[in-house]
Structure 1
Amino acid sequence: MSNAEQEEFWTDAAGPKWVTQQTQMDTLLAPVLDLVLDQAALRPGDQVLDIGCGTGVSVVAAARAVGGQGHVTGLDISETMLDLAAARLPDMTNAALLKADAQTHRFDTSFDAMISRFGVMFFNDTVAALSNLNAALAPGGRMTFAAWGPAPQNPYFMVPAKAAAGVLGPMPKTDRTLPGPFAFEDSTRILAQMAQAGLKNTDVETVSVDLTSVGDVAETAALMMQIGPAEAAVRHHGVDAETAQQVQSAVADAIAQFDTDDGLRIPACIHIYSARKPA
């Protein structure tokens, strides 16, 4: 049940890129974090576990919500991302970071709330992970997780993937039920796994939001060449710098359709999963 492959990926491959692009990614995904926090309705004094906290923006937001009498533990498998998260928390006495695997870590405390912004789709055994987390949830405690909805309804992924394929050719087909961005896209399957893990009062709300890019079309295309399917396509095909630039230009042309007077607004379909443990 080891998650060693994901640990290596998020520490050595994806982690450094997320750290470099932290400001852009935090801004882009801010509407999703807002959804999580609105649904979680954290209260002053809550003890909170933030699963897959990454570079820490969600830890900071949750710590502010629970106040000095509360506490937030940010958990992640990536030491690279936690190093940046630590740099963002020097003055927060009500927050701490934990490098651990949520599938197997034995928590020595219980939590009133568990939250996650895109941190739950990478378990290699979702049922085992959720069961382990459920054991650490206090009576009456609640879970609130954001995950990507169906891939075809998320142009942040599909549009650059199509643009890259137009230049480089198709990518091998992948099983989206495996650990990855869309592992939770089938809400019927995930709700069944939540029940299998022993979670109670489970639900999912599917929400449409606009992702908010911090940059213009060109800057966002450059970001997509660092994180996402366009980057994966360039890496898979092993292309030279000139061809990679052609891909970036194609991505920029493709995402220009989302440009507005208020900047880029990329539609997204987000699942907000929730559960509440009986009191």
Structure 2
Amino acid sequence: MTGTNADQAEYWGRSPGGQKWITLEDQLDAAMAPVLDLVIARAELQPGQRVLDIGCGTGASVLAAARAVGPEGHVLAADISDLLLSRARERTAGLTNVAFVNADAQVHPFTPDDRDAVISRFGVMFFDDPTAAFANMARALKPGGTMTFAAWGALDRNPWFTIPHVAAMDRLGRPPRTDRNAPGPLAFHDTDRVLGLFRDAGLAAEVDVVDLRLTLPGDADAAAGLVMQVGPAVRTIAHFNGTPEDADAIRAVIRAQFAEMGSADPLLLPARINLYRARRP
């Protein structure tokens, strides 16, 4: 894919990044289940509705939305990664109320006035031009249709990011700073900014800042192993060409800090989620 978000297509579709989300599918789906539950509940999906799922990944959100709208409804699942879509198709084989499209949702010509709802669990923070993306997705909605998007909230309220980031930085040094508003997992942390993007797209939006707990399967050691495979520790280790000894030391620090949060299985990790909701006029 070439064009506006080609770098995202490359990362999620052809780099090890996308493959990791397939390899770790069970653990990541379990960890993020409370976020998906939040999206589905707040979207208030009803039997018979037609839904557009943005950034569907390996398909957990497709399955949830398909159950909510039932056999008389329909879910169109869009993702920029053909690799992730292939796995999502496998997981939904046999369902007659789902379809998939390999699409950059910022520019894809979705059928206008076709959907009752647009949903996304962590799939909308990666657009080069979020305002254009919001406006494009809104055109797929029927008048009065709704958008419901979950995005990561403030960094300091999300130990999923902060604990691995600090542990890796203390061991190896600080990697080059990046713009936190740039396309990436934390791009929608600033609620005032994002609500402004919705307004620029011609949409009235609101946000609920929700504190919940991610459900990381296993104990503190298993949870530390998971965040050593995705997220900021991975990037810092790669940037500094960290050794296996560095990785072991970083994991030990993460494990110790996770253990302070409890010994339950699954490990319940605090998280802050920004839940954005908008309605097409």
TM-score grouping bracket, smaller chain normalisation = over 0.9
- Structure 1: state its 5+ residue gaps: none
- Find out whether 1:192 has 2:221 as its counterpart: no
Give the alignment's TM-score, normalised by structure 1: 0.96
One-letter code aligned to 2:226: L
Q: For 1:20-77, what per-residue CA distance to the aligned partner results, in whole angstroms no more than 9, with x for missing partners?
A: 0000000000000011011001001110000001000000000010011100011000
Equivalent of 2:6 in 4, 7, 19:
4
- Find out whether 1:237 has 2:236 as its counterpart: no
Residue 165 of structure 2 corresponds to: 161
One-letter code aligned to 1:250: V
Residue 205 of structure 1 corresponds to: 208
Per-residue deviation at 1:262? 4.9
The separation in 2 between residues aligned to 1:75 and 1:227, in whole angstroms, is: 22
Q: For 1:159-192, what per-residue CA distance to the aligned partner results, in whole angstroms no more than 9, with x for missing partners?
A: 1111111211222211100001111000000001
Give the alignment's TM-score, normalised by structure 2: 0.96
Residue 118 of structure 1 corresponds to: 122
Equivalent of 2:60 in 40, 44, 57:
57
The separation in 2 between residues aligned to 1:111 and 1:47, in whole angstroms, is: 5
- Find out whether 1:73 has 2:76 as its counterpart: yes
Secondary structure of the 2:275 match is: strand
Q: Would the aligned equivalents of 1:160 and 1:255 in 2 still touch at CA under 8 Å?
A: no
The separation in 2 between residues aligned to 1:150 and 1:67, in whole angstroms, is: 35
Equivalent of 2:50 in 26, 30, 47:
47
One-letter code aligned to 1:152: D
One-letter code aligned to 1:108: T
The separation in 1 between residues aligned to 2:186 and 2:264, in whole angstroms, is: 30
Residue 154 of structure 2 corresponds to: 150
**Percent of residue pairs identical:** 48
| Greater Cα offset, 83-92 or 259-268 | 259-268
Q: For 1:170-226, what per-residue CA distance to the aligned partner results, in whole angstroms no more than 9, with x for missing partners?
A: 2221110000111100000000100101113x1100000000011211111111111
The separation in 1 between residues aligned to 2:241 and 2:83, in whole angstroms, is: 25
Residue 181 of structure 1 corresponds to: 185
The separation in 2 between residues aligned to 1:93 and 1:258, in whole angstroms, is: 43
One-letter code aligned to 2:196: A
Residue 25 of structure 2 corresponds to: 22
One-letter code aligned to 1:132: N
The separation in 2 between residues aligned to 1:232 and 1:38, in whole angstroms, is: 33
| Greater Cα offset, 101-110 or 46-55 | 101-110
Q: Would the aligned equivalents of 1:102 and 1:129 in 2 still touch at CA under 8 Å?
A: yes
- Find out whether 1:271 has 2:246 as its counterpart: no
Equivalent of 1:98 in 78, 101, 110:
101
Q: For 1:77-107, what per-residue CA distance to the aligned partner results, in whole angstroms no more than 9, with x for missing partners?
A: 0111111111101111001111100011001
Residue 138 of structure 1 corresponds to: 142
Secondary structure of the 1:25 match is: helix
| Greater Cα offset, 259-268 or 218-227 | 259-268
The separation in 2 between residues aligned to 1:165 and 1:195, in whole angstroms, is: 37
CA RMSD after TM alignment: 1.1
- Find out whether 1:127 has 2:127 as its counterpart: no
Secondary structure of the 1:258 match is: coil
